[in-house]
Copies of this chain bind each other. A is one copy, B any other.
Amino acid sequence: MRATTIHGAFDIRVSDVPDPEILRPTDALVRVTATCVCGSDLWPYRGIHPSREGGRIGHEFVGIVESVGDEVAAVRPGEFVIAPFTWGDNTCRVCRLGIQTSCEHGGGWGMPDREKLLVDGGQGQFVRVPLADGTLVATPSVPDDALLPDLLTLSDVMGTGWHCAVAAGVGPGDTVAVVGDGAVGLCAVIAAKLMGATTIIAMSRHEPRQALAVEFGATEIVAERGEAGTARVMALTDGLGVDAVLECVGTDESMQSAITLARPGGRIGYVGVPHVGELPLMTMFWRNLQLGGGIAPVRRYLPELRDRVLAGEIHPGRVFDLTVPLEEIPEAYAAMHERRAIKAMVLP
C-alpha cells in the first residue's frame, strides 16, 4: 500500500510499504477514507523533534473496517469507524479513569508497540488497528461524505479542544479566553460555547481564523499579542481577567500569556505539547491559578462528540481549508507549516 513516511526535516514522502494484515486476534484492518496533518506532525517536520528515517507518520483517521481478528466484537467489517490519536483497550484501570492516553496496554500510531511490532501511521491507505474493540468508535451507519470532515476532527483536534475546556473547568456563565487560533484553538471555542461560556475571547491575528472563531461562538476577537493582548483582555473584563484560559499552542510565549490572562482563582487548560520554559509558579501561587490538561484522552469524549456531529450540533470540520490526495501530502505539510492552511485533509 501507499503510506506517508518521514525522512528528515521537511522531507515527507509517500512510499510503498507492506500491506498490513491482522496480526493479533484483537486487531482490525481499516481502509482509511480520510486522514489529516496535525499541528504536532509539524514538530518532526520542522526537525524540532527527531524522527526515524523512513518512519511512518500520522495519527488521525477515519475509515471502513475491512476485516477483524477473532476476538474483536465491538466493530464489524463494513462499519465506519473513528480512531482516536492513541490506541488502547479502554478497559484498564487508567482508561476507566478517563485517561485513555495513559492506557496500561496502549500506544501511539506509526511506531513499534511494546512487543516491537510496527503499528501503522494514520496517513496511509490502510491501518492495522490494535485493540480494536477499545480503540475504534463506530457510527450507527456509514455517514454521508459531507460529514467526513466533522467526524475526522474527532480523531484529535475537536477532542483536544474539548479536553482543554474540560481541564479548565469551563462552565455556564464563564468568561473564557482561547489562546491559539489553530484547529485546536478553534475547536476549543466550540467546546467553550457548548459548555455554557457566555464571553469567549479568541486571541487571533488572522482574518480567516477570526471569522471561523466567530462562527464557532467567539464573542470577542483580540488580535494583539503579549502585553498589548493582555491589556485588551483586561479591558474586556473590567481589569479582572478571565475565569478560564484555554491554552492551545504550547509555546513559552503562549503559556506565559495564558497565565497573565487568568483572574485570581482562574483556571488554565493546556493541551499543546509544551515547549515551555519555567512556569511562573510564584505568580500562580499568589493568584491561586489552576493549571490542568495534557495530552487529550479524546477516546473519552468520542461517543458524545460523534453524537453531536451526527445531530448536526457542531461543525468542527470547518477547520479544514485544504484537501489533497494522499500523493500530494507533502504540499499539505508545507501549507500548514507556512500557515497557508489551518488544517489539511488528505484523501487516500
Contacts and interface: CB of A to CB of B under 8 A. Distances in A.
Main secondary structure of the interface of A (DSSP, over half): mixed
B281 A281 contact: no
Interface stretch (A64-72, A109-117, A272-280, A302-310): A272-280
Contacts of A285: 270, 273-274, 293-295
Interface in A245-264: 263-264
Given A284-B294, A288-B293, A265 B99 contact: yes
Interface residues of A, number: 35
Contacts of A102: 264-265, 286-288
A290 interface: yes
A347 interface: no
Q: Chain copies in the assembly?
A: 2
A94 interface: yes
A94 B264 contact: yes
A111 B282 CA distance: 20
B288 A295 contact: yes
A17 interface: no
B99 A288 contact: yes
A84 to B, nearest CB: 14
A99 B285 CA distance: 12
A297 interface: yes
Contact of A167 (B101, B286, B290, B297): B290
A41 B290 CA distance: 26
Nearest to A97: B265
A34 B102 CA distance: 50
Contact of A93 (B99, B240, B282): B240
Contact of A297 (B99, B240, B288, B290): B288
A118 interface: no
A292 interface: yes
Given A93-B240, A101-B288, 15 more contacts: A94-B264, A98-B265, A99-B265, A101-B286, A270-B285, A274-B285, A276-B281, A279-B279, A287-B294, A288-B292, A288-B295, A290-B290, A290-B293, A291-B291, A291-B292
CB-CB nearest 8 A-B residue pairs: A290-B292, A288-B294, A102-B264, A99-B265, A99-B264, A285-B294, A274-B281, A291-B291
